[in-house]
Structure 1
């Protein structure tokens, strides 16, 4: 058997080390790609919600303007495949500033007409859920 002293090629150890480096790089790139895909999904949901929340806030404001201020107001529904539910409770109420009457030459105070509501909004689509909390102002009979 004739063995050449200057045999060309890689030893088994070199091939195993190269394979380990290759698999490590592939696994790292795969993890980065998966994280980027997950972030992209979350970002698209956030963008979609950022368009829905102002629309819902306007609807909530309109409903609060019509609501009985002595009760907690709630509503549920579906918008763009998102289920929503909100609850609003009056947290503060106040009258308008006193008004001066020239006939009687005195300031007249009025009943409470301004109402500050604490609103809790929840949006749900599949396994994704987002909650918002904000205040809204309504008034009656000015």
Structure 2
């Protein structure tokens, strides 16, 4: 009637395999969550900085073409580690609307530019376009 009340070697090995499998799965889940977080942080930074870059590009473009007959302009800028290179091409160049009864016509001074932007952040490049009205 003397029985051992311990675990056999086989039971201990099976428990160890289950434990280490669970630890390995938890480690992979943590690793993928960390990677996803890093990607989300980079995207959030890009989408937070880009509106400020667009405002700076509009300001720069308007200063470059102010009171000049320029059909193309370009520039570069860097904000918070993101490098922006832009090129603007004039699509429309008009004068203000005139009165139907008047013979007076004003010079062309209103322009709409299509701006193409290339942004570079570390190893990633993105492009986008927008339009700017100038006068």
Structure 2 length-normalised TM: 0.76
Shift of 1:44: 2.3
Change (3 A) 1:95 1:18: same
Contact 2:64 / 2:73 at 8 angstroms: preserved in 1? no
Change (3 A) 1:54 1:103: closer
Shift of 1:122: 0.7
Q: Distance in 2 between matches of 1:103 and 1:136?
A: 32
Match of 1:73 in 2: 74
- Counterpart of 1:20 (choices 17, 20, 42) is 17
Is 37-46 or 21-30 further displaced after alignment? Answer: 37-46
Shift of 1:72: 4.2
Change (3 A) 1:41 1:32: same
Compute the RMSD of aligned alpha carbons: 2.8
Q: Distance in 1 between matches of 2:89 and 2:98?
A: 25
Task: Indicate the SS of the match to 2:113.
Answer: strand
Q: Deviations over 1:67-107 (max 9, x none)?
A: 35433412143x22x04122223162242564225343x9x
Match of 1:95 in 2: 94
Q: Distance in 2 between matches of 1:67 and 1:138?
A: 13
Paired residues in the alignment total 131
Q: How does 1:24-103 map to 2 (within 5 A)?
A: 24-68=21-65, 69-77=70-78, 79-80=79-80, 82-90=81-89, 92-95=91-94, 98-103=97-102
- Structure 1: give runs of 5+ residues left out of the alignment: none
Match of 1:116 in 2: 113
- Structure 2: give runs of 5+ residues left out of the alignment: none
Q: Distance in 1 between matches of 2:40 and 2:92?
A: 38
Q: Distance in 1 between matches of 2:102 and 2:126?
A: 52
Aligned structure 1 segments of 4 or more residues deviating by more than 4 angstroms: none
Q: Is residue 2:129 matched to residue 1:134?
A: yes
